[in-house]
């Protein structure tokens, strides 16, 4: 509580200083904050105050803050900045962050920023912009320290002192031969413990894991997590060292991928943000809803086929949402378990067949329990044992098939090399609506003579 | 492809060596692998081979491998090991990993292991076992290097050389005064650049962020991600340095929390694993299904209230699943956006009201589009403009209220200090089934004269 109050006082103070052009006092207070806190403050300000702040900060200071601003918020900032200043800010950023930001901007804006920039920096960034989104190449940085296997520990430590301020990390050092092939890795920890006159080649570990530039970022994240790395080197197909990926970028990748999976399960575009306006948010969600509307019409026309049965036994309609709902629920459960299993790589080769068998069995067990319960409840409620048996038996069959469907859809998608997370909850729910209605009315028609 | 083949050959080779007691060749090949790969191989072996392997490895070597085994798989391993050996393995682990593993075992097993252990190690572990699950205290390690502000850079580097092999990280060093109060932080990078005779107090940054032992692990993860830290110090309420949390543990926390949110949205227990048997998995999912079955009965009895309307106009039943399904879908979308927003802390203070207004507007826009579409489709299909208008108008009202309900439930839970992720998809879907049926049949009853 106390903290929040003092934070708010500080924010108001900063705002006043920025609005009134008190450059020195503003700089003193502002630069005393962590760049993340600077970014949080900055992004809440109106444009006129932001424009003031740019003039108070050096491009380097702005760059440090910008690296902590969320990518969704980047575009308006680079549009309002003076292009010359914007180019300098980008030059001061870590290359991987610069590339992430440029990917958010319009193509012609990027081209004009790169033109103003120092040619060497521009070339480095252009190189990285070529890599496909969500690959190792697109998230790596080229600001790393490579050390040579033939150097001594002492020389290397000297070299580090000079390079440390620029590099993204100096705690894992990748060792290259004279042709820039990756040949080993040595941690700063090992160098500190080693004798100063040993050669790097004698201290390094030759068992260095690397990823190819084209590797999917989700797989890179999994490797870093499994092996507890602080960084991983990125190589081309001839094993030349191109860049490194550090763990702080992996945290963002994991957050992004988890958010995507979560949103897909709910049938929302992964870019649906609580900050969007109602129109934008409606536009993002409508495609799903319209697809589901048409799938729902399919369900409706299916029930239409059974209108005769419904006219004879109107009470049948009572249980439609219950059965469809249960089918949707069990399907979503099975779907989630399968998607998680596929995305964390928990399955072996025969694992998928075993999973399908297990899901069918799970559905059967749940079906027997729910079916028995439901038969009893409907019997006591409607005083009709045949209706009870129909509904109870229907739910049993529905739970087996709907559970299996929930597991099958993502496995099938994975086989087709589609991200299984695309099999969203609403989609499987609607499929299972159809399954449940076919089973329920199919059984009802078969046993119609007992119901009327 | 090539890689997989050579990996499989290596695995078969290791298996043969382990089965036939070729200790030396086994050790040579096995210890040459990364501990994570050791763990992946080990966990796939049958018990008799695992028992052999324990006898080939020192407790320290086993500990290194154990740290990479998933917690779900830990229990049988510590049960099959000789207790004396198990105690030694735990002593060799990083304390935070040791505590994680002990938390997976039965209480009496833990007590007996701690009794066999060296008293000092046991005391350290017992201390950590006291912290509540999912707090900073439960994931921190006590193996960190604290340096004193009064020492020189040179002395500190000497001290590091000695301490480095044991510590979890030496890249961020936390500075304490003589009473062990946390007073600053210095990175190894800064020490390397600094002059050897400077005092630590002159090199360190006094702006050190820390977390309290009782802080929720999800918030710790968010801090480390936002500030791009490699580690964060943990303090008690008097600011004594108790331990540190490193980024590799945060990767696991993020994976765990994302998995939990995802599972909750699908209505599965977060411990539902693809490796469970059908019985265990059914047992985990049944509670949800039974709750939803009873909620579904509520829906059924609601429709039962409108049986008269249904008997007059059987065609009404056709659209029940469509409307209920759309209500569920839009509710799940709104729910997911709200839960994500709450969990990433994207909302300000007035943000929640704004979000509710936005969700209602989004629902209205989507409702108008879907309603118009549906009126047209139903009119052409059933050749009944009144039925078309009823269904179209119903979906419009339903989409507004169901979207709002999806956003409101998690916000309301958050207000009650319940994790909003608990508001699962199936739950909101069932609530929205009820809402949609009330609206649809309510409107149908009101306009019955136009329908018959």
| More confident position, A290 or B419 | A290
pLDDT in tens, B12-32: 888 888 888 888 999 998 998
Distance from CA of B307 to the nearest CA of A (A): 7
Which one of A145, A317, A326, A394 would you mutate to disrupt binding with B, by most B Cβ within 10 Å of its Cβ? A317
Q: Is B332 on the interface with A (CB under 8 A)?
A: yes
| More confident position, B40 or B282 | B40
pLDDT in tens, B273-319: 666 777 888 887 888 788 888 888 888 888 888 888 888 888 888 88
Token output for A263 = 């949103």
The answer on A406 and A293 residing in a single domain is: yes
SS3 (DSSP) at A243: strand
Packing angle between helix A320-343 and helix A351-382, nearest 10 degrees? Answer: 160
Considering the domain boundaries, does residue B10 fall inside one? yes
Q: Which has the closest alpha carbon to A86: A69, A104, A70, A110?
A: A110
- Domain final position from B258, B288, B323: B258
Q: Which has the closest alpha carbon to B329: A402, A298, A334, A290?
A: A290
Which one of B292, B329, B408, B444 would you mutate to disrupt binding with A, by most A Cβ within 10 Å of its Cβ? B329
SS3 (DSSP) at B243: strand
The answer on A169 and A61 residing in a single domain is: no
Q: Which has the closest alpha carbon to A410: A189, A306, A261?
A: A261
Number of structural domains chain B divides into: 3
Show the CA angle centred on residue A279, arms to residues A276 and A282, nearest 5°.
90
Q: What is the mean pLDDT of residues B252-258?
A: 85
> pLDDT tens string for chain A (452 positions)?
345 677 788 888 888 898 888 889 999 989 988 889 999 899 989 998 999 999 999 999 999 999 889 888 888 898 899 989 999 999 998 888 888 888 888 888 888 888 888 888 888 888 888 888 889 998 998 888 889 999 999 999 888 888 877 777 778 889 999 888 999 999 888 888 888 899 999 999 888 899 999 999 988 998 998 888 889 999 998 899 999 999 988 988 888 888 888 877 777 765 666 667 778 888 878 887 888 888 888 888 888 888 888 888 888 888 888 898 889 888 888 888 888 777 766 665 557 778 888 888 989 999 999 999 999 999 988 888 999 999 999 999 999 999 999 888 888 887 887 777 666 677 788 888 889 999 999 999 888 888 76
Token output for B263 = 């599972």
The answer on A247 and A205 residing in a single domain is: yes
In terms of residues, how long is chain B? Answer: 452
Phi, psi of B241 (to 5 degrees): -75, 120
The answer on A298 and A385 residing in a single domain is: yes
The answer on B190 and B303 residing in a single domain is: no
Considering the domain boundaries, does residue B402 fall inside one? yes
The span from the CA of A135 to the CA of A119, in Å, is: 25
* C-beta of residue B421 within 8 angstroms of C-beta of residue A265: no
pLDDT in tens, B320-355: 888 988 898 888 888 888 887 777 666 655 577 788
The span from the CA of A246 to the CA of A233, in Å, is: 9
Considering the domain boundaries, does residue A209 fall inside one? yes
* C-beta of residue B312 within 8 angstroms of C-beta of residue B449: no
Give the model's pLDDT for residue A345.
Answer: 63
Give the model's pLDDT for residue B2.
Answer: 47
- DSSP codes joined into one string, B73-106: GHHHHHHHS-HHHHHHHHHHS-HHHHHHHHTTS-
| HEC secondary structure over B227-291 | HCCCEEEEECCCCEEEEEEEHHHHHHHHHHHHHHHHHHHHCCCCCCCCCCCHHHHHHHHHHHHHH
- Residue whose tokens read 């009895």: B301
Which one of A37, A329, A349 would you mutate to disrupt binding with B, by most B Cβ within 10 Å of its Cβ? A329
The span from the CA of B269 to the CA of B263, in Å, is: 6
Q: What CATH number should be reported for the domain holding residue A240? A: 3.10.580.10
The answer on A105 and A41 residing in a single domain is: yes
**Taking all residues of chain B, what is their mean pLDDT, rounded to a whole number?**
86
Residue B266 and residue A32: Cβ atoms within 8 Å?
A: no
Confidence category of residue B423, pLDDT binned at 50, 70, 90: low
Token output for B104 = 């997976």
pLDDT in tens, B197-246: 999 999 998 888 999 999 999 889 989 988 888 899 999 988 999 999 99
Considering the domain boundaries, does residue B426 fall inside one? yes
**Chain A residues within an 8 Å CB radius of B39:** none
SS3 (DSSP) at B206: coil
Q: Which has the closest alpha carbon to B423: B266, B206, B223, B211?
A: B266
Considering the domain boundaries, does residue B141 fall inside one? no
The span from the CA of A266 to the CA of B429, in Å, is: 11
Give the model's pLDDT for residue B422.
Answer: 64
Considering the domain boundaries, does residue B181 fall inside one? yes
Considering the domain boundaries, does residue B119 fall inside one? yes
Q: What dihedral angle (degrees, nearest 10) is formed by the CA atoms of B293, B296, B300, B306?
A: 170
* C-beta of residue B305 within 8 angstroms of C-beta of residue B377: no
Q: Is B368 on the interface with A (CB under 8 A)?
A: no
Q: Which residue of A has its CA nearest to B280?
A: A362
- Domain final position from B89, B104, B130: B130
Q: Which domain holds residue B213?
A: 146-258
Token output for A101 = 């930001």
Residues 65-124, chain A, touching B (beta carbon < 8 A): 68
Handedness of CA B113, B116, B117, B120 (dihedral sign): positive
The span from the CA of B399 to the CA of B363, in Å, is: 5
Give the model's pLDDT for residue A39.
Answer: 92
Of B272, B318, B335, the CB nearest to A337: B272
Res. B142: pLDDT tops 90 = no
Q: Is B415 on the interface with A (CB under 8 A)?
A: no
The span from the CA of A169 to the CA of B73, in Å, is: 34
Q: Are strands A211-212 and A231-235 parallel, antiparallel or unpaired?
A: parallel
The answer on B438 and B299 residing in a single domain is: yes
Phi, psi of A248 (to 5 degrees): -65, -30
The answer on B119 and B192 residing in a single domain is: no
The answer on A159 and A282 residing in a single domain is: no
Residues 275-314, chain B, touching A (beta carbon < 8 A): 275-279, 281-282, 285-286, 288-290, 292-293, 296-297, 299-301, 303-304, 307, 310-311, 314
- Residue whose tokens read 């609206």: B439
The span from the CA of A367 to the CA of A365, in Å, is: 5
Q: What is the mean pLDDT of residues B176-182?
A: 91
Show the CA angle centred on residue A144, arms to residues A138 and A148, nearest 5°.
130
- Domain final position from A225, A258, A291: A258
The answer on B282 and B195 residing in a single domain is: no
Considering the domain boundaries, does residue A140 fall inside one? no
**Chain A residues within an 8 Å CB radius of B225:** 248, 251-252, 255
The answer on A86 and A200 residing in a single domain is: no
Of A268, A326, A433, the CB nearest to B321: A433
Q: What CATH number should be reported for the domain holding residue A305? A: 1.10.357.20
Q: What CATH number should be reported for the domain holding residue A124? A: 1.25.60.10
Of A157, A267, A321, the CB nearest to B296: A321
Of A252, A320, A326, the CB nearest to B321: A320
Token output for A90 = 């980008």
Of A275, A328, A338, the CB nearest to B346: A275
Long-range contact pairs involving A279-282 (C-beta distance under 8 Å, separation at least 24): A279/B365, A281/B337, A281/B358, A281/B362, A282/B361, A282/B362, A282/B365, A282/B366, A282/B369
Token output for B409 = 């439930």
The answer on A216 and A115 residing in a single domain is: no
């Amino acid at each position: 509580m106390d903290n929040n109050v003092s934070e708010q006082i500080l924010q108001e103070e900063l705002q006043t200083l920025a609005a009134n052009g008190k450059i020195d006092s503003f700089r003193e207070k502002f630069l005393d904050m962590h760049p993340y806190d600077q970014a949080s403050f900055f992004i809440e300000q109106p444009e006129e105050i932001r424009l003031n702040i740019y003039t108070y900060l050096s491009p380097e200071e702005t760059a440090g803050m910008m690296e902590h601003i969320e990518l969704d918020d980047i575009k308006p900032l680079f549009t309002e900045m003076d292009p010359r200043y914007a180019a300098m800010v980008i030059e001061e950023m870590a290359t991987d962050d610069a590339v992430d930001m440029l990917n958010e901007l319009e193509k012609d804006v990027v081209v004009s920023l790169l033109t103003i920039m120092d040619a060497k920096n521009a070339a480095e960034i252009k190189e990285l912009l070529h890599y496909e989104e969500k690959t190792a190449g697109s998230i790596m940085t080229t600001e790393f320290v490579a050390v040579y296997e033939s150097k001594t520990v002492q020389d290397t430590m000297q070299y580090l002192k000079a390079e440390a301020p620029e590099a993204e990390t100096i705690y894992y050092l990748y060792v290259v031969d004279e042709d820039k092939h990756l040949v080993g890795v040595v941690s700063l920890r090992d160098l500190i413990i080693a004798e100063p006159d040993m050669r790097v080649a004698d201290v390094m570990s030759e068992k260095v894991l690397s990823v190819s530039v084209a590797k999917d970022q989700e797989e890179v994240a999994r490797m870093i997590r499994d092996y507890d790395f602080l960084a991983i080197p990125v190589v081309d197909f001839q094993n030349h060292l191109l860049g490194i990926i550090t763990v702080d970028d992996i945290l963002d990748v994991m957050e992004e991928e988890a958010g995507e999976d979560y949103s897909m399960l709910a049938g929302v575009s992964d870019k649906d943000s609580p900050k969007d306006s109602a129109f934008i948010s409606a536009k993002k969600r409508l495609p799903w809803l319209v697809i589901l509307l048409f799938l729902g019409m399919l369900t409706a026309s299916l029930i239409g086929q059974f209108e005769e049965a419904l006219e004879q036994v109107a009470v049948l309609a009572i249980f439609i949402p219950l059965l469809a709902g249960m089918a949707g629920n069990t399907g979503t459960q099975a779907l989630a378990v399968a998607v998680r299993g596929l995305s964390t790589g928990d399955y072996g080769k025969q694992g998928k067949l075993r999973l399908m068998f297990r899901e069918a069995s799970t559905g059967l067990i749940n079906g027997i329990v729910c079916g028995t319960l439901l038969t009893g409840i409907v019997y006591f409620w409607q005083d009709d044992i045949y209706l009870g048996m129909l509904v109870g038996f229907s739910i049993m069959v529905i739970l087996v098939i709907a559970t299996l469907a929930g597991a099958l859809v993502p496995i099938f998608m994975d086989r087709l090399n589609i991200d299984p997370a695309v099999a969203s909850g609403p989609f499987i729910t609607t499929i299972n609506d159809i399954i449940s209605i076919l089973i329920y009315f199919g059984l009802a028609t078969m046993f119609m003579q007992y119901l009327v």
